[in-house]
Amino acid sequence: MKKIVLSLLAAMGCLYSFAQTADLKKNSALGVHFTLTDFQTAADIRKSGLSSVLQKGNYTDISLMNPGLGLSYWKGLTNQIDFSSWVNFSFLKYPVPNKPVQTADAFTISADANLNFKMLPDNFVVVPYLSAGIGATKYKGYFSAYMPLGAGLQVNLFNDAFLMINSQYRVPTTSLGAYHFFHSIGFVGVIGKKKEPVVVVPPPPPPPPPPVDTDKDGVVDSLDACPTVPGPASLNGCPDTDGDGILDKDDACPTKPGIAKYKGCPIPDTDGDGINDEEDKCPTVPGLARYQGCPIPDTDGDGINDEEDKCPTVPGVAENFGCPKIDEAIIKKIEYAAKNVYFATGKYTLLAKSFKPLNDVVKILAEHPELKLDIGGHTDNTGDATKNQALSQNRAKAVLDYLVKKGVAAARVTSAGYGQDQPVADNKTAAGRAKNRRVEIKVRNY
């Protein structure tokens, strides 16, 4: 384990040891943090595995964690690597390996030093980072060492103040140490200012040359809007060949009288689409009359024209009808919930084991108000097709009613039954019929 961690640190060091193009290193800074120490989750993971702990959800139980107060010092080594040192104070029962179980909380102090490998420099508002280091803990008469491995977020508040959120997994490196998680949130403030670079004042420019009149029209070049073409002083030295009051340099049709609206040209049909420029909102691009001379618009510029785009003002992808692509993780969570919806045999009464996955769907919709759902009910081909159709509709409606009851707006959910008409497996086998008896939940954002 230690060899793997050391190799990871070496690789990360190489990744960030590139030349910096600007000095964005963090000045010396001090921080104050609220902390939580969690021995139970680490012990559960080592005992029963990460997947078991995630399924039970015990890792979020704050009542099993010990609060504390942390102080930190930060210093930038490069634009994307910070050094930090921590000291944390708390009262807790430290589970010293192979020692009697502690019965009362005791004052505990831990200290560590870390390298923080930032994904972005400090001129970004939100900066994720990874950290690794070494540390030690004193609990009663016991001393132990550990290696903190973590990840965090730095939020730039005022360029010289940061909100720091960090989680570590502390790996013991001595026999009296215990595996545990360490979480913190706090504020870090810069205590020094960068030295301003010395500004070198350039020498004064040479004196200007004597006035020149290149086109010999009596208007010196410094006052001549057209210094290489003769013209009257009344027009700032520029000619107006067609006498339409628009200087030749600004006249797109210098030999044909025109108007300023068309840069000196007669009223045109520039794009030749049969709609003159007076009525054409896109006079340089051929278009259609129903769009006032413009092509079929693509308002959001995503390559899908508005007539086929279900989200015409938001860039999207073709496979989602011009709407933004939905996070694949959300799609998988909703598909997983749909596969775990169960009904009483031959009925449309939801079984209790369906509630948790459906509650997860309610949570996703609360977090993503742009999402909508289409619920489809399906059956196998056993029995009467008309009854199967009704059963599939009622089952899809039962799921919809449950979500609405839990607070989802009815306008965000639709339901439909497809009976036995859309099998996904062979109805000739029991396994195939089981797959065909299903509820599908499709997520969309249009």
Q: Which of 161-170, 195-204, 399-408 has the lowest mean pLDDT?
A: 195-204
- Provide the token pair at 166: 């960090």
Average pLDDT over residues 242-249: 83
Neighbours of 195 (CB within 10 A): 7
Asked if 226 contacts 246 with a C-beta cutoff of 8 angstroms, the reply is no
**pLDDT band of 15, cuts 50, 70, 90:** very low
* Spatial distance between the Cα atoms of 254 and 241, rounded to a whole number of angstroms: 6
DSSP per-residue letters across 160-198: SEEEEEEEEEEEE-STT---EEEEEEEEEEE-S-PPPPP
- Provide the token pair at 243: 């006498």
Average pLDDT over residues 383-401: 96
Give tens-digit pLDDT for 265-296.
887 888 888 898 888 889 988 988 888 888 88
In eight-state DSSP terms, residue 28 is: P
More confident residue, 232 or 392: 392
* Spatial distance between the Cα atoms of 270 and 255, rounded to a whole number of angstroms: 18
Over the Cα atoms of the chain, what is R_g? 36
Give Cα separations from 65 to 36, 58, 81, 183, 184 (angstroms). Answer: 6, 11, 30, 10, 12
pLDDT at position 232: 85
Domains in the chain with CATH codes: 2-13+24-51+64-190 (2.40.160.20), 328-444 (3.30.1330.60)
* Spatial distance between the Cα atoms of 412 and 372, rounded to a whole number of angstroms: 5
| pLDDT, the chain, mean | 88
Would you say the pTM of this structure is higher than 0.85?
no
